[in-house]
Structure 1
Amino acid sequence: MEVRKDIIVPLGYGKYIRSDKIVGLKPIEDDRGPGKRTYVYVEGIESPMIASRTETTILSNIVETPSEIMEATAAIELLKDILDDINQIGPMLKKSIKKEAKLDLEKISFKIEEILNSDSEIEE
């Protein structure tokens, strides 16, 4: 992969950085949530910036990669984000949603975890 030169990359919430100044991306594992998805390490800045976009989305802006790989990776990232959001919903609200909207978030969460686990087995 080759970094595109002189591309301005949006990090979300009005933050932008030049593509060739980004030296590292790391997904936020703990306290991940809205507005807090990725640590972006920037040349010349000691502490990482916090981006609201996923590392995959940022990476797709700064490098040239085959579109099929990016589409599959973007789908996986979307599933991870949905799973994160579902896991933040309390059990009482989940029951209410299931009763009122006939939407079983526990079942959806389980299916997403199955997909993500099967995808990680394929990568190994």
Structure 2
Amino acid sequence: MEIRENIIIPLGYGKFVRSDKIIALEPIEEDRGPGRRTRVYVEQIGIPLIASRTETAVLANIVETPKEVMEATAALELLHDIYDDIHQIGPMLRKSIRKEAQLDLDKIERRIEEILKHEVEV
């Protein structure tokens, strides 16, 4: 992989950083959710910036990647977003959605977990 130099990378919510100044990406495991996906360590900044984008999405902007990889990355980021949003829906609302819209959020959540788990293993 080759770092693209002097490219401005969006971190989300109006935060941007130069691609060649990013020194590390760390996925947020606890308290992860909308607006809190990745810690981005940047040269000459003592604390990491919090990105609302996944580490793979940020990395895809930093390095030169083929179009197919970028599309797959965007799809995975969307799945992460959907999973995080569904995960925050409580049991009462889930039951109501299942009854009113015949949409089983538990099943969708499990399927997304399977897909994301498989992606990590690959």
Deviation at 1:76, TM superposition (A): 2.6
**Cross-structure match for 1:28:** 28
Per-residue CA deviations over 1:43-98 (Å, capped at 9, x if unaligned) read 11121100111111111111101222232233233222222221111000100111
Q: Alignment partner of 1:116: what SS?
A: helix
Aligned pairs (5 A) from 1:15-94? 15-94=15-94
The count of aligned residue pairs is: 122
Q: TM-score, normalised by structure 2?
A: 0.90
- The share of aligned pairs that are identical, in percent, is 70
Q: What is the RMSD computed on CA atoms of the aligned residues?
A: 1.5
Q: 1: distance between equivalents of 2:120 and 2:50?
A: 26
Alpha-carbon separation, structure 1, partners of 2:21 and 2:69: 24
Alignment TM-score, normalising by the size of structure 1: 0.88
Unaligned runs of 5+ in 1: none
Cα distance in 1 between the residues matched to 2:105 and 2:47: 37
Match of 2:11 in 1: 11
Q: 3-state DSSP class of the match of 2:9?
A: strand
Gaps of 5+ in 2: none
Structure 2: how far apart are the matches of 1:33 and 1:94?
18
1:9-39 CA-partner distances (Å, limit 9, x unpaired): 1111111111110011111110011111110
Amino acid at match of 1:29: E
